[in-house]
Amino acid sequence: MTKPLFITLEGTEGVGKTSNMEFIKSMLNDKGIDFVETREPGGTPLGETLRAMLLGEDFKGMSDDSELMLMFAARAEHIEQVIKPALEKGQWVLCDRFTDATYAYQGGGRQLNIKRIEGLENWVLGDLRPDLTLLLDAPISVGRERAGKRSTPDRFEQERDGFFNRVRDTYLSRAKAEPNRIKVIDASGDLNSVQQHISSIINKIIF
């Protein structure tokens, strides 16, 4: 049996993460791969409670440091309860966002010190890293237009374009630094071409 893979999906708001997640799931199912689908922040009862606090209105004014540490608290629980056990059982893990989102949103968006994020990453993740990260990329205006058609914006979606441009730039510079792991997918085009690109990447990693 080949080693189970840990795949993450990333991108700014409105780039089509949800529909492409469904597409990846159907590809893995068609290939008979046993996998766990999960998300961050979230994926465990504690993580989902922290997600509600992080995205909702009740703690709208939380400090940037609290936000960073709550993201990692949710992640610590998620790794121990879901990600590691699945990989140890031979199941693949397909995760909607992971630590690259912390570098992008808390590092880029909130402009927190990267050294702090690296410290927490090393502490909480140990040597666990995603095997493949699909980064759906589109200009912020494109995503805004798509996301704007949905319900009430959450605490992050309420941020301004400057914040999201920093998030996008951070994602892209991480992809440039780690081209083998992070694959950038142009998400500004039609869904069909985005999915063709995704399937060519996934087909290459499945033997």
Stretch that binds ligand TMP, among 79-87, 98-106, 113-121, 136-144 (CB under 6 A): 98-106
Secondary structure string (H, E, C) spanning 117-177: HHHHHHHHHCCCCCCEEEEEECCHHHHHHHHCCCCCCCCCCCCCHHHHHHHHHHHHHHHHH
Near ligand TMP in 55-74, by CB under 6 A: 71
Q: In terms of CB distance, is 158 or 203 closer to ligand TMP?
A: 158
* Interacting residue with ligand TMP among 66, 73, 128, 156 (CB under 6 A): 156
Structural contact between residues 105 and 167, judged by C-beta atoms closer than 8 angstroms:
yes
Tokens of 152: 């009430």
**Amino acid symbol at 80:** E
* Interacting residue with ligand TMP among 8, 20, 44, 102 (CB under 6 A): 102
Q: In terms of CB distance, is 101 or 202 closer to ligand TMP?
A: 101
Q: In terms of CB distance, is 138 or 207 closer to ligand TMP?
A: 138
* Interacting residue with ligand TMP among 77, 96, 121, 137 (CB under 6 A): 96
Structural contact between residues 80 and 108, judged by C-beta atoms closer than 8 angstroms:
no
Distance CA 32, CA 21 (A): 17
Nearest to 24 by CA among 37, 12, 15: 37
101 binds ligand TMP per the rule CB under 6 A? yes
Stretch that binds ligand TMP, among 95-103, 113-121, 139-147, 177-185 (CB under 6 A): 95-103
We find the least distance from the C-beta atom of residue 204 to ligand TMP, in angstroms, to be: 26
> For residue 182, how many C-alpha atoms fall within 13 Å in the half-sphere facing its CB?
23
Near ligand TMP in 1-40, by CB under 6 A: 40
97 binds ligand TMP per the rule CB under 6 A? yes
105 binds ligand TMP per the rule CB under 6 A? yes
CA end-to-end span of the chain: 10
41 binds ligand TMP per the rule CB under 6 A? yes
Tokens of 132: 């493949």
Question: Torsions phi, psi of 37, nearest 5?
Answer: -105, 130
We find the least distance from the C-beta atom of residue 98 to ligand TMP, in angstroms, to be: 6
List of residues contacting ligand TMP (CB under 6 A): 40-41, 71, 96-97, 101-102, 105-106, 156
